[in-house]
Amino acid sequence: MKLCMIGTGYVGLVSGTCFADLGNNVICVDKDKKKIKHLSNANIPIYEPGLSELVLKNYKNKKLTFSTNLKKSVKDSDIIFICVGTPTKKKGSSADLSQIYNVSKEISSSINKFKIIITKSTVPVTTGDQIEKILSKKNSKKKFSVVSNPEFLREGEAIRDFTYPDRIVIGSNDKKSNNILKNLYGPLISKGAQYVHTTRRAAELIKYASNSFLATKITFINEIANLCEKTGINVEDISIGMGLDKRIGGRFLRAGPAYGGSCFPKDTKAIISTADKFKVNLSVIKSVIKSNKNRSNLLLDRVYEILNKKIKNKKIAFLGVTFKANTDDMRDSSSLSMIPTLSKKGAKIKYFDPTGLKDEFKKIKNVSYENSIRKSVEGSDLVIIHTEWNDFKSINFKNLIKNKKCIIYDMRNIYSANKIKTQGFKYYSVGR
Ligand code: UDX
């Protein structure tokens, strides 16, 4: 099939590439000329394991092409995926849909034959209705169908998540587009993915409800971890004991720092804003946001406790600063509040991240980047493990740290307390 992905950010580039790999002809469009030039030279703007190899393979096969010409690309395609950003508005907490509507207007003047227009970007309930209105101004309703097909890719696991999804959600109000899309996703359905057909509005809400529920699960276990710390219980026992109940499920029950990233913080805020519009109070999600906001303060309080409230001039090594492992994404990472706060209190911070130096910390006093684990932990009083990269999973602290008084604070529960204690260091973790 001939597909056009509008927006070559995370969702557009990954799904466009994966669709090409399934044998479709895909044009990835972006108005950013520099980005398209880089992509045409197989220069990938985002960090995602396995993506550059797959882009290169399909670009060479001519299954994947890049363009800045939206109108022509739409004319040449049968299915158009809108994959532009829907960030939180500068004022308020609702999603900024200006890019979605601008793109819809451009598509509107390029509908030369029947087209399916799909929102893959996360969009609030009724956005599809608005797109339909825009397109109807210039086109007969017989010439297009507006569908919602939310994407559930996790950064760092995006190709796997696309290829082996738990479910594919298609929200369409007509049979024709549903049949075409079932066919498009056929190769994934035959490998076991569940195909869920709903109304367009339901599909839009499924995405927000899913992300809000996952954020709730994480926040829930983080609060239980607080209780475990006070009662001498290992939170991992709780996660296992709860997770084996099929009604609960074991995933997303890992306690740690505040959740972050490009989706959970943004989508939890946006669903509340949508509900407000319809005069519905989503009190559970509101308290999840509040609890998550407070999470970094709680972990910082633990740092003060560990260091006997003496932070000034303490040398702290920070391992991993992105919002989780296997990504270079800093959006809403808890390190963005923790590192500046520690610096304000007089700590001297050396950080290392497998994805390199971060501009966000360039101007912060007493914060420097080191290009190896060894250099960052050298001479430290405290080592904070902030993300769960494999690089951090088998560090020989004994070899790297001469100061036996150095303390390890493992915010991702990578190590067992015994393993670190036998190396001669004091060890703290989360919820145990
Ligand atoms: C998320 C959703 O999972 C994906 O389906 C969606 O469409 C996009 O948003 P992503 O933001 O890439 O994906 O990361 P994810 O792996 O979901 O983690 C989000 C945050 O939750 C991270 O900060 C992570 O560290 C945290 N997390 C996750 C936990 O603290 N504990 C867990 O058990 C799982």
- Domain borders along the chain are 2-198, 208-293, 294-429
CA-proximal residue: ligand 1, atom 7 (nearest): 152
| Span 258-271, average pLDDT | 96
Determine if ligand 1 sits within 6 Å of the CB of residue 150.
Answer: no
Whether 1 and 181 have beta carbons less than 8 Å apart is answered as no
Confirm whether 2-198 and 294-429 share one CATH topology: yes
Task: Please state the atom number of ligand 1 nearest to the C-alpha of residue 323.
Answer: 23
Q: Could you give the percent of the chain with pLDDT greater than 90?
A: 97
Q: Read out DSSP for 359-377?
A: GGGTTSTTEEE-SSHHHHH
CA-proximal residue: ligand 1, atom 10 (nearest): 154
Kindly give the distance from the C-alpha atom of residue 17 to the centroid of ligand 1, in angstroms, as a whole number: 22
Kindly give the distance from the C-alpha atom of residue 48 to the centroid of ligand 1, in angstroms, as a whole number: 15
Three-state DSSP class for residue 349: strand
Distance between CA atoms of residues 1 and 20, nearest Å:
9
CA-proximal residue: ligand 1, atom 15 (nearest): 154
Determine if ligand 1 sits within 6 Å of the CB of residue 256.
Answer: yes
Distance between CA atoms of residues 149 and 389, nearest Å:
31
pLDDT in tens, 126-183: 999 999 999 999 999 999 999 999 999 999 999 999 999 999 999 999 999 999 999 9
Domain over 294-429 is classified CATH 3.40.50.720: yes
Active-site residue 263, yes or no?
A: yes
Task: Please state the atom number of ligand 1 nearest to the C-alpha of residue 158.
Answer: 12
Distance between CA atoms of residues 354 and 336, nearest Å:
17
Say yes or no to pLDDT of 63 above 90. yes
Which architecture, in CATH terms, is 2-198?
3-Layer(aba) Sandwich (3.40)
Which architecture, in CATH terms, is 208-293?
Orthogonal Bundle (1.10)
For residue 41, the model assigns a pLDDT of 86
For residue 173, the model assigns a pLDDT of 94
- pLDDT band with cut points at 50, 70 and 90 for residue 375: very high
pLDDT in tens, 5-15: 999 999 999 99
For residue 166, the model assigns a pLDDT of 97
CA nearest to 319, candidates 352, 342, 341:
352
Determine if ligand 1 sits within 6 Å of the CB of residue 265.
Answer: no
CA-proximal residue: ligand 1, atom 3 (nearest): 154
Candidate from 218, 322, 331 with most ligand 1 atoms within 8 A of CB, to mutate: 218
CA-proximal residue: ligand 1, atom 25 (nearest): 324
Q: What is the mean pLDDT of the chain?
A: 97
Kindly give the distance from the C-alpha atom of residue 201 to the centroid of ligand 1, in angstroms, as a whole number: 24
Kindly give the distance from the C-alpha atom of residue 43 to the centroid of ligand 1, in angstroms, as a whole number: 26
Kindly give the distance from the C-alpha atom of residue 105 to the centroid of ligand 1, in angstroms, as a whole number: 33
Kindly give the distance from the C-alpha atom of residue 141 to the centroid of ligand 1, in angstroms, as a whole number: 38
3-state SS, 41-110, equals CCCCCCCCCCHHHHHHHHHHCCCEEEECCHHHHHHCCCEEEECCCCCECCCCCCECCHHHHHHHHHHHCC
Determine if ligand 1 sits within 6 Å of the CB of residue 254.
Answer: yes
CA-proximal residue: ligand 1, atom 26 (nearest): 259
Distance between CA atoms of residues 323 and 330, nearest Å:
6
- pLDDT band with cut points at 50, 70 and 90 for residue 42: confident
User: Which residue out of 4, 28, 83, 263 is catalytically annotated?
Assistant: 263
